[in-house]
Amino acid sequence: MARSFLPAARPESAGLSSHAVEAFVAAAEERLDALHSLLIVRHGAVLAEGYWAPYEAATPHMLFSLSKSFTSTAAGLAIAEGRLALDDRLVDAFPEALPATVSDHLAAMRLRHLLSMSTGHSEDTLTHLVRDTAGDWVRTFLSCPVTHPPGTHFLYNSGATYVVSAWLQRLTGQRLVDYLRPRLFDPLGIGPATWDTCPRGIDTGGWGLNLTTRDLARFAHLLLEDGCWQGRRLLPAGWVTEATRWHVANGDDPQSDWAQGYGFQFWRSRHGCYRGDGAFGQFLVVLPQQAAAVVMTAGLGNMQEALNLVWEHLLPAFDDVPRPADPAADRLAARLAALRLPAPAAGGGSAPPETWELEPNDLGWVRLRLDSAAGRLTVGTASGEHEVCFGTAGEWRATAPLPLPPPPGLAAPSAGPAAASGGWPDATEFRLRVWLTATPFRHDLVWRPDAARGQVEITQNLAFGPALKAVCSGRLVTDPRP
């Protein structure tokens, strides 16, 4: 089927200042770690769209907890179909998985409590779920102590969202991603969507969905239109309002967008806004009073700062009526088309192709060969040779990622599409940067060759726990190749 999308329009035609968008982009590049994409929607049109190379429009991005807003939407659809209700009890849905003793608090837990993160738990149950060697995550969730009466205590609980997904799969006989396909994804023109599953084949619900920025913009427009798309109602009337309104308090810091209340898998935000968001800066921010939405993907250590920039530059830049045509729109379009993430500097350094034998290390690397003129790094491991190609002089080149061991927990994956750029800032070191372009993660490699004992250092930009940092040392060997 054809993948319809929203038409593009000059920002001023929909009352948005191109100068303000330019200022936002400039501030983001100065104050944020790395935006990967930006898309602004208003009145059914795309007013600004850009991707920081090597990220691109066609590649689905890892959404992390922004997935939760789609799980909530699936629940709303199932409620409209009469499959369940907000006040249905969890214990009635999974009688075979209940603990020997069902506490009063567990017995009182309902679908609305799972959706609003008010289950009554004192800790996120996700840690217990992923450690369950039997892979029975529902049973593990039901065994976790419920210390507060449901509905009285907010706790961000990704395990609760997983249980919503499991509940829906039990009722529909379909994985969440398949249930949403004819009801949401196909009508919106959303292309291939993947969703991680638990060991028993249930979509994780609270994380694991991968979509493009344009897919998120389609969803944002649907929310702005109260669940209607191109004249067709996809979501039940009133569900968007119900899912995005305040349901439970989650803090009292007036400057924090994580303390403005919580809906059904949507965060309430300052300035009367709401959003879905995921770790490291995956954002779908809806500005209802402005009839607009801002979608971003990113690799951020400070997510609050990204929202601060939206409130500072974009929120006040919307007028209720069209603005006069402004030549700044052409300048903005050119800038958005030329966005690039910083690449390693290419100074005056260089070196002939060299091979290094590495000492035993945690990465399992035994050999490393750099041919900087050809843009090729080859890493030898017990499983064979792994070639990483890279662009030079600030250019990005598609490649395989660095061969790194599986990360612990939910840290960055070491597979999938990647792009790399490298260069010699000076004669003492070579720098390589590899972005995993379906994720917020990157790996930086610094190679400091030395006649006596060279050294390779590898770091990762972000992680849920300690980020990867590894150092390998080795010696230069005679290279039999020309």
Q: What is the structure's pLDDT at 480?
A: 47
Q: Could you tell me the CA-to-CA distances from 4 to 230, 254, 407 in Å, in that order?
A: 10, 40, 38
Which two structure tokens, joined as six digits, stand for 182? 């004819």
Which residues contact residue 392 at a Cβ distance below 8 angstroms, ignoring those fewer than 6 apart? 346, 372, 375, 421, 422, 423
- Rounded CA gap, 3 and 13, in Å? 25
Dist CA 265 CA 249 (whole Å): 13
Give yes or no for a contact between 315 and 439, defined as CB atoms under 8 angstroms apart.
Answer: no
Amino acid identity for residue 79 in this structure: I
Residue 218 has which token pair?
């389609």
Per-residue pLDDT of the chain (482 residues; tens, 9 = 90+): 345 689 999 999 999 999 999 999 999 999 999 999 999 999 999 999 999 999 999 999 999 999 999 999 999 999 999 999 999 999 999 999 999 999 999 999 999 999 999 999 999 999 999 999 999 999 999 999 999 999 999 999 999 999 999 999 999 999 999 999 999 999 999 999 999 999 999 999 999 999 999 999 999 999 999 999 999 999 999 999 999 999 999 999 999 999 999 999 999 999 999 999 999 999 999 999 999 999 999 999 999 999 999 999 999 999 999 999 999 999 999 999 999 999 998 876 677 888 889 999 989 999 999 999 899 999 999 999 999 999 998 999 999 999 997 665 544 455 689 999 999 998 889 999 999 999 999 999 999 988 678 899 999 999 998 888 899 898 877 554 44
Cβ atoms of 443 and 468 closer than 8 Å = yes
Q: What is the full DSSP assignment across 221-264?
A: HHHHTTTEETTEE-S-TTHHHHHHS--B-----TT-TTSS-B-S
What is the rounded CA–CA span in Å between residue 282 and residue 267?
13
Return the percent helix, strand and coil in the chain, to nearest 5: 30, 25, 45
Distance CA 232, CA 243 (A): 20
Encoding tokens for residue 445? Answer: 């490699």
What does each C-alpha distance from 16 to 10, 19, 293 come to in angstroms?
A: 9, 9, 12
pTM of the entire predicted model: 0.95
- Going by C-alpha positions, the residue among 221, 168, 167 that lies closest to residue 190 is 221
Residue 67 CA from chain centroid, whole number: 9
* Cβ within 8 Å of residue 134, ≥6 positions away: none
- Per-residue tokens: 326: 């402004």
Amino acid at 137: W
Task: Please give the single-letter amino acid code of residue 369.
Answer: R
- Angle at which helix 158-172 crosses helix 67-80, to 10 degrees, equals 40
459/220 Cα distance (integer angstroms): 35
The torsion angle over the Cα atoms of residues 260, 261, 264 and 267, rounded to 10 degrees, is 20
The answer to whether 368 and 81 have CB atoms below 8 angstroms apart is no
pLDDT, position 406:
67
What is the rounded CA–CA span in Å between residue 232 and residue 189?
13
Q: Which domains does the chain have, with CATH numbers?
A: 11-79+167-337 (3.40.710.10), 354-477 (2.40.128.20)
Nearest to 38 by CA among 400, 351, 379, 282: 282
Quick one: pLDDT at residue 410?
Answer: 46
Per-residue pLDDT, 414 = 54
DSSP letter (8 states) at residue 456: E
- Give the C-alpha distances (Å, rounded to integers) separating 225 from 32, 186, 235, 282: 31, 17, 10, 22
| Beta-sheet pairing, 274-278 with 292-298 | unpaired
The rounded distance, in Å, linking the Cα atoms of 203 and 68 is 11
> Which residue is associated with the tokens 């940092």?
469
Helix (H, G, I), strand (E, B) or coil at 324: coil
**What residues contact residue 327 under an 8 Å CB cut-off, 6+ apart?**
none
Torsion sign over Cα 257, 259, 261, 267: positive
